Structure 1
Amino acid sequence: MLKDISGAGIDGAIVKISADSTVIAYAISDKGQFNVAFNTNARKVKLIAESIGYESVENEIMNVSQTYNITMKEEATELKEVVVKAPAIYQHGDTLSYNLSSYITQSDYTLKDALKKLPGIDVEESGNIKYLGKEISNFYIDGLDLLGGKYNIATTNIPASYVNSVQVLNNHQAVNMNKDIFSDDVAININMSNNARFKPIGTYEGSVGYGDDWQYKVSGAGMLFKPKFQTIATLKIGNIQSFASNEVTSLFGGVEEESKAEKLIGNISASAPPIDKDRYASPDEHLFSVNFIKKITETATLRGNVDYSYSKSRYDYDIQRNFYDGYENIIIDQGINSLSTSHSPSFSIVYKNNAATSYLNNTLFGKATFLRNELPTMENSQELMQQQSMRDYYVENDFSYSWRKGKLRWSLFSSVLLFNTPKVSLIVANGENDIHQSANSLGLLTKNVLSAVYDFNNSRFYFPLSLNYSADKIQTELQSDLGNTGNKNDMKGGKLSIAFAPKYEYTHPRRIYVFRADVPMRIDYIYNNNHILNAKDNFGFFSVCPEIYFNYKASSRSVLRARVAYTRDSGDILDFLTFPVQTDNTTRKISSGILQDNKSLMVNLHYDYKIPLDMWFVNADIIYQREHNNLLASQDVASDLIQSTFIYMPNNTNNITAQLGITKQIESIKTKISLKGLYIWRQQQAEQNGLLTTYIWQNVGISPTLTSQPCKYFELNYSGEISKTFLSYENIKRNYWSHVHKISLKITPVQSLIFSASSDIVKKDLTQNMSKTMALLDFDITWLLNAFRFNLSLQNALNQDSYSYSLYSSINTYTYNYKLRGRELLFTLAVTL
């Protein structure tokens, strides 16, 4: 209790706890009442109380849970002219808050730009957000889940100037009735500024330019953020940048499964080099999305998301595939001009009631994809045309209901997912022997779980019972002009799984440590029916897959996590396709006829250390994984055909991954410095042209990043990746270097005028004795006038025409050379309302 001499409680006083001269926790008094929670190994700590109009109090107290009374004497204070400035970062319990204005500059237009400046937070090229190396589990705007996993819509369209603060919610428990159950999830909450609340806002942009052809882009995003209603609507059309698929892709995973036909045939235009797509691909894209969430009651919300994306992309590249053959390597050269077109509408409707003693969620989701690819190809001096088309639909409904009564918690989950791929076709026309491959599939998947949880003191006992069932049908046919018409597959199959997965969990009263042990027991029944061969197969498996999890909060600054898990997975109906399937002009798949049986042991150790007030963040992981497979991938390679299958040969794959991340924010010069280190070691077997080979693949690399604005006139951004790859098999040892550096310099000579220059510098070893260096240079001039932004941009000023790199897959080497877009001059006008 905090009182004055008269015994009245003091309101608004700051009470701080310090250990080793460092403030580790604080609270603000409410009518004299305060509560400070902290965790430190120090035997004694200092309690400091401060308030305007009173003398400061500083006492040394024992580090034990206690009630403490403080009396403060009044002190007359002559107030001078002051500037009130919110702290750049502060922590309250498990919530870490960033005052965004302390980190951003004039050139940070979007929320995504601003998030990259925050210490401890990383934003990947895909838009995926990580905190201390861990992917976020939820993304909120003023506490509401408007977008689910499609939060790229928010980060790329909300102006940074309209965001007040960004909160990192550690140990986030999304279900209110389970707030007392420990979770190591991390969520992000965006607090909008008062200027962006209660009234419609928007960002609108138009661009025009010329490069290899005329270019344009028109976009608009309208938004409204009220306490009980939020909406974001976007419309974008243009051929300058690729944006359609990025903004409507769920970064939380979405539907994990895919149809059997889609999995079998794949997308022949899915090649993606390690470079920004807008450097090599000429797009033509449209995007429309409407998203809203309505707070029906204090605990219930209704959310709707509708979007449509159209993407047309053209790019050219050459590929040389070097296949190891023991004596003389087999080389296949190709030149490909890819034109890919896709239409993808989707929708979701989510009702959620997140009450204190119950939880109800129902999600209805649907999506369709219409894909067409055309690939004029030059292979070994022969011209041919590859054409692929695919139609794919799926709809899913997830229902979950949990309720709590006394020491028992009950939960029910039911999911139904329907796949339909009515047509996939591939035509390879070479003028001599045209190839026609077709496929279609239909699938149904349902997952159902009934679970009871019993609370006993600090322990919990989980008793979940699950019933999962899947049914699939697939048909394929391969024809050629040479009269080969017998290559047909007509299969039906399914899988029934019944599992009982008891789990024990113990949580320390102060959550210093959490221990969990799972022992899932599962019975799988798998069947399939081959209509062509009139053959039936049935299989049964019993599996026990234990898992142990331990989370130890060593102090308020550091956390240690450990996880050991054993898993077992089986194959599917595709393992029993007895006739070949063509997936592109040179690749043909033949199934083994044997059901895959994969077993995996994974050990993961994680450590993170943070001092938010001093802006130090460290995270480290060591992961070991051993996989045992009953089938081994096998290839028979000739100069004109690669035939892949699986052979029965039990084999093991060993993986070790070690990674370290360190971030330091130097607030006085507005500088964020990060350094990441990564080491990967893999041992695996490969079978090619009858030659069984064991190979070891290693990669070691560091990735430094720097964001600095030492003064208001100057800003420097740098990110780099330096890595070396080692490959050894038989008596062959090879190693390759890769250097990637991105540098951006911004100068603001006068208020609202920004000059910037950026460069991408890449040096990669293409072979053991040959490397290639590429440099891309861009210039920008930006003028800010109230709500308007004018930008003149010169892209690829050096007119660099190609980008080359190599991939090392198993014992083979693939070397790519992509044609780049030429020099481009663009003018952009944007307005924020």
Structure 2
Amino acid sequence: MYPFLILLFFSLAGYSQTQISGQTFNDQKEKLSGATVMVSKDSVSSILAYAISDANGKFKLVLKNESDSLLLKVSYLGFETFKKTIQNKSQTLEVILSPSSESLKEVLVKSEILQQRGDTLSFSVAAFKDKNDRVIADILKKLPGIDIRPNGQIFYKNEPIQKYYIEGLDLLGGRYNLANNNLSANSVSRVEILENHQPVKVLDSLEFSERASINIKLKKDVTVSGTMTAGLGALPLLWETNVTPMIFTKSRQAIVSYQSNNTGRDVSGDIRNFSINSGENFDIDKTDWLSVQNVSQPPFSAERWLDNNVHLASANILQRIKEDLDLKLNISYLNDYQQQDGSTQTRYFTPTDTIDLIENTNNDIFVNKLEGELTLENNADKNYLKNQLEFNGFWNANRGLIDRSNSQIKQQLDNPFFGIKNDLRLLKTVGKQLITFNSNNGFTETNQDLRVQPGPFEAIFNDGNSYEEIQQMVSSRKMYTHNSAGITKALGKFTISPKFGFSFQNQQLDTDIFLENGEEVLDIDFKNRTEFVESSVYFKNAFSFKSKDETWNLSLSTPLQFKSFRLEDENFEEARELDRLVFEPYFYAKKKLSAFWDAQASAGLVYDFGELQQLYYGFLLNGYRNLNRYNAPISEETRQNYNGGLSYRNPLKQLFLNASYSYSYTEKNLLYSSSIGENGTTLLEAVARDNSFDTHKFSADGSKYFRKLKTTFKLNTSYNLSKQQQLLNNTLTELNTRSFTLRGSVDAELSNWLNANYSGTVVTYTSGFGERDFQKIETQQHTVDLYFYLKENQYLNVSGEYYGNSLSENGNNYFMNLGYQFTFQKPKMDLNISWRNILNTDEFINAYNNQYYYVQSSYRLRPSQLLATLRFSF
């Protein structure tokens, strides 16, 4: 195969800049304003440049392309489309359009709506902004092709964005909710979608990217913006504060924020990190070995149910030291106290029986979190350097009280965590090749302590007799290093990237169980003194190809890796070892079928091996009714992944469509056995037995902006089917699950005095053993928002919500809210008065399935309450 590829190598021609200008007229030599002018390589290739003729009929296009000829296409409503093949050189043209009695198939796109240049789509903020829109997130959710999920993560064409820039700078490093929720929409001129975006400049012509990024274009070179909010309310006493100033210049950007409230607004989402991990880097995310039993949280706005008292401080500063060299600091501190009050009814299905469990839960949750990043980045055309130092610290604690029919259970968990890591990435041009070097090093430590009163699992710990208390203690440490070096070289339209690397990870786990009066459980089956060492050496060769006309993008990765695992526990004589030489090829292909249609496909083979969380010998009391251990060989999984998709993107019609199918087949050497007791206690163990697991997923989504109606319509659907084997109460069975999801939204400006927004989701989930379905559930949620503009500076907001499920007798939940906003012109300030939960719905009934059990929960909600806020956006 490699000799065949080498024979296909040919030289890369240099790109030159071409400027095409001209003027459009009708057959009477009258100037045509608003004519759509497009340039592409040919009739099936993507648009290279796009413009709208001005009031004098003039237009100008600037593009870079190596083709000898170009296709010029000019269209105007009521006239025949003008097409002409022109030479690829700077020139001035005169275009005369002839009248046509035929209706045009294309929609005329005015320049204030959308522009396209190459792989960049530019949406006008003013064209989508309504009177009630205040921050840039209000605009993004209306843009066709873009979807903002409930947690704030942004998706484009059903894939998460990889970067969020403000004026081309990545200030927030994945924590873009802070800007989305506080940057004034009045400060933004355009939102750019950077398709197939390669964030590293030196790789731009070497490695293509199928992901998109977002760039926020501001109106001024020096922009001072942000939000200041102060609110007071009643039933109970409520407060809300948000001070988030921002400044953006060509050499400096800064966002500083302090937020505090007890109104239920979850400000922790503003520092949630949506960065896409390459898969080779070590994460310092917190691992929860132990937990307090929680109530299932409602699937809607936290302002309805979250009983909190939160404080968040964040500082984000970026300084451009010199051209292409940036120094960035991101640091935040979160302090939150939450209360949960609710009840849960759980029904377990086994092949021979059903088991019911009812719990009334009251929890106190204390969160203290400090995290920060210091980043130095030099992103130049020929060299790249990025060094990022990151740390996370948690000082969390949970307190829980559970009432059952015949007992009351207290839980107390202390859950501290500390982690630090440093990532270094260096790319340097040497001659005609690019030298690459990566180094990733990290360390984490956690010491967790769970106390349960009275003690569970009496038959195991106290000969079947009740006892007063059990204490589970866990100490875990992890050290990690991963280093690699390679070269990247372009050979014509091909790029080859061989890379050599090695990694080493050492994890230690110490666990002990104590009973009442500090009595230690000495049985080695309930202790762990585990050391797990994982090391690997690999050689990875990657190939990519981009055709001359840019209609084909191909990539092939062929990593060969030797992995070694060794697990020892001083309580057990026998160690577990595993050495494997694995080959994990991955192939990706993308074909541009026309200017609007794309097709893509991928296939890959992945090997997964056990983590320490599924390897320890001794039993661990993970929760008050969950006792787990994995006294089995090191787990091995071999997974085949296949994916195919078709997408349609027509920016001229503001229409985006996507459809995809994926299939995954996994072979495993371990089967997990769950023994469920009559009181709901679960004993989980791993059993050495070959088994398989396969999943199918179909998904499709579409979005369309109707300019005349000023309406954005979005629809998304997916269907999932999976099969896997499971041991339940010592009986082998096949678990089948099926789920169907339909989501849609409409954002419409019905008139100059009325706006309407609708969003809805319907989910059907079915699970069963073999050919027998034991449970099917349908859940729905629908939300309608109406904005009545009483005057230019006033509006009334009425909203209603419905949530329901097919399992619960009282599963229908209704909510209604009322709001009034008055805008002062001098100073520019909004006074908002809201009446939340008018119906005073005091609890939410929810139900959901998960493989072999279903849960029906009741969550205590916030009462009906009034809140008045003053909001100043600048």
TM-score (norm 2): 0.87
Counterpart CA distance in 1 for 2:628 and 2:413 is: 17
What letter matches 1:465 in structure 2? Answer: F
Counterpart CA distance in 1 for 2:243 and 2:644 is: 45
Deviation at 1:619, TM superposition (A): 1.1
What letter matches 1:17 in structure 2? Answer: M
Matched, 1:639 2:663: no
Instruction: Pick closer, same or farther for the CA change 1:524–1:710 going to 2, 3 Å.
Output: same
Deviation at 1:272, TM superposition (A): 3.2
Structure 1 spans left out of the alignment, 5+ residues: 5-9, 51-55, 75-83
Deviates more, 1:757-766 or 1:570-579: 570-579
Deviates more, 1:372-381 or 1:247-256: 247-256
Q: 1:7 maps to what in 2?
A: none
Deviates more, 1:503-512 or 1:264-273: 264-273
Counterpart CA distance in 2 for 1:391 and 1:23 is: 53
Q: Name which of 125, 128, 133 aligns with 1:103.
A: 128
Matched, 1:828 2:869: yes
Q: 1:239 maps to what in 2?
A: 262
**Aligned with 1:157: secondary structure?**
coil
> How well do the aligned residues superpose, as a CA RMSD in angstroms?
3.1
Q: 2:566 maps to what in 1?
A: 527
**Aligned with 2:410: secondary structure?**
strand
Counterpart CA distance in 2 for 1:238 and 1:69 is: 61
Matched, 1:273 2:298: yes
Counterpart CA distance in 1 for 2:284 and 2:405 is: 34
Deviation at 1:594, TM superposition (A): 1.6
Instruction: Pick closer, same or farther for the CA change 1:32–1:675 going to 2, 3 Å.
Output: closer
Q: 2:843 maps to what in 1?
A: 802
Q: 2:38 maps to what in 1?
A: 17
Q: Name which of 447, 452, 464 aligns with 1:428.
A: 452
Alignment of 1:84-163 (within 5 A): 86-163=111-188
Instruction: Pick closer, same or farther for the CA change 1:15–1:683 going to 2, 3 Å.
Output: closer
Counterpart CA distance in 2 for 1:801 and 1:127 is: 27
What letter matches 2:741 in structure 1? Answer: G
Q: Name which of 726, 729, 739 aligns with 1:699.
A: 739
Deviation at 1:668, TM superposition (A): 1.4
**Aligned with 2:196: secondary structure?**
coil
Deviations 1:201-231 (A, max 9, x none): 33210111123x2111111011111111010
Instruction: Pick closer, same or farther for the CA change 1:732–1:404 going to 2, 3 Å.
Output: same
Counterpart CA distance in 2 for 1:21 and 1:361 is: 39
What letter matches 1:273 in structure 2? Answer: P
What letter matches 1:415 in structure 2? Answer: N
Deviations 1:341-393 (A, max 9, x none): 11001111110111111100000011101110011111233112101011100
Alignment of 1:744-759 (within 5 A): 744-759=785-800
Matched, 1:193 2:219: yes
Q: Name which of 437, 452, 459 aligns with 2:494.
A: 459
**Aligned with 1:245: secondary structure?**
helix
Counterpart CA distance in 2 for 1:512 and 1:406 is: 29
Counterpart CA distance in 1 for 2:52 and 2:331 is: 44
Q: 2:100 maps to what in 1?
A: none
Aligned partners of 2:295 and 2:343 also within 8 Å: no
Q: How many residues align?
A: 805
Deviates more, 1:219-228 or 1:274-283: 274-283
Instruction: Pick closer, same or farther for the CA change 1:528–1:261 going to 2, 3 Å.
Output: farther
Counterpart CA distance in 2 for 1:259 and 1:581 is: 23
Q: Name which of 583, 587, 590 aligns with 1:544.
A: 583
Instruction: Pick closer, same or farther for the CA change 1:540–1:381 going to 2, 3 Å.
Output: same
Q: 1:288 maps to what in 2?
A: 313
Deviation at 1:26, TM superposition (A): 2.6
Matched, 1:512 2:551: yes
**Aligned with 1:614: secondary structure?**
coil
What letter matches 2:386 in structure 1? Answer: N
Counterpart CA distance in 2 for 1:529 and 1:815 is: 42
Deviation at 1:565, TM superposition (A): 0.8
Counterpart CA distance in 2 for 1:32 and 1:771 is: 63
**Aligned with 2:175: secondary structure?**
coil
Counterpart CA distance in 2 for 1:521 and 1:714 is: 61
Matched, 1:204 2:228: yes
Aligned partners of 1:16 and 1:23 also within 8 Å: no
Instruction: Pick closer, same or farther for the CA change 1:832–1:32 going to 2, 3 Å.
Output: closer
Q: 1:792 maps to what in 2?
A: 833
Q: Name which of 462, 471, 485 aligns with 2:506.
A: 471
Q: Name which of 637, 641, 664 aligns with 1:625.
A: 664
Deviations 1:235-293 (A, max 9, x none): 01111133332111211157986779934325654843323233222011000011111
TM-score (norm 1): 0.91
Counterpart CA distance in 1 for 2:407 and 2:703 is: 53
Counterpart CA distance in 1 for 2:284 and 2:61 is: 57
Aligned partners of 2:757 and 2:785 also within 8 Å: yes
Deviations 1:691-724 (A, max 9, x none): 1111221112321210000222100000001222
Counterpart CA distance in 1 for 2:726 and 2:310 is: 41
Counterpart CA distance in 2 for 1:284 and 1:587 is: 31
Q: 1:813 maps to what in 2?
A: 854
Deviation at 1:577, TM superposition (A): 2.1
Deviation at 1:456, TM superposition (A): 1.1
Deviation at 1:561, TM superposition (A): 1.4
Matched, 1:448 2:448: no
**Aligned with 1:114: secondary structure?**
helix
Deviations 1:586-633 (A, max 9, x none): 111112232111111111112211111111111112111111111112
Q: 1:664 maps to what in 2?
A: 704
Deviates more, 1:583-592 or 1:387-396: 583-592
What letter matches 2:426 in structure 1? Answer: Y
Counterpart CA distance in 1 for 2:750 and 2:824 is: 24
Counterpart CA distance in 1 for 2:323 and 2:829 is: 39
Deviation at 1:134, TM superposition (A): 1.1
Instruction: Pick closer, same or farther for the CA change 1:661–1:85 going to 2, 3 Å.
Output: closer
**Aligned with 1:656: secondary structure?**
strand
Q: Name which of 714, 718, 721 aligns with 1:681.
A: 721
**Aligned with 1:130: secondary structure?**
strand
Deviation at 1:20, TM superposition (A): 9.7
Counterpart CA distance in 2 for 1:258 and 1:598 is: 21
Counterpart CA distance in 2 for 1:675 and 1:304 is: 39
Q: 1:782 maps to what in 2?
A: 821
What letter matches 1:337 in structure 2? Answer: N
Q: Name which of 521, 538, 541 aligns with 1:485.
A: 521
**Aligned with 1:583: secondary structure?**
strand
Counterpart CA distance in 1 for 2:185 and 2:59 is: 37
Counterpart CA distance in 2 for 1:578 and 1:58 is: 74
Deviation at 1:46, TM superposition (A): 5.5
Deviation at 1:553, TM superposition (A): 1.4
**Aligned with 2:179: secondary structure?**
helix
Deviations 1:57-100 (A, max 9, x none): 985424x86458555499xxxxxxxxx98521111110000100
Matched, 1:307 2:332: yes
Counterpart CA distance in 2 for 1:503 and 1:549 is: 11
Instruction: Pick closer, same or farther for the CA change 1:270–1:399 going to 2, 3 Å.
Output: farther
Q: Name which of 274, 278, 296 aligns with 1:251.
A: 274
Structure 2 spans left out of the alignment, 5+ residues: 1-19, 24-30, 97-108, 456-466
Counterpart CA distance in 2 for 1:731 and 1:23 is: 49
Aligned partners of 1:205 and 1:829 also within 8 Å: yes
**Aligned with 1:101: secondary structure?**
helix
Deviations 1:457-508 (A, max 9, x none): 1112221111011011110011223956122211112111111111222210
Counterpart CA distance in 2 for 1:808 and 1:323 is: 10
Counterpart CA distance in 1 for 2:744 and 2:421 is: 42
Which has the higher relative contact order, 1 or 2, with Cα contacts under 8 A spaced 6 or more apart? Answer: 2
Q: 1:79 maps to what in 2?
A: none
What letter matches 2:594 in structure 1? Answer: S
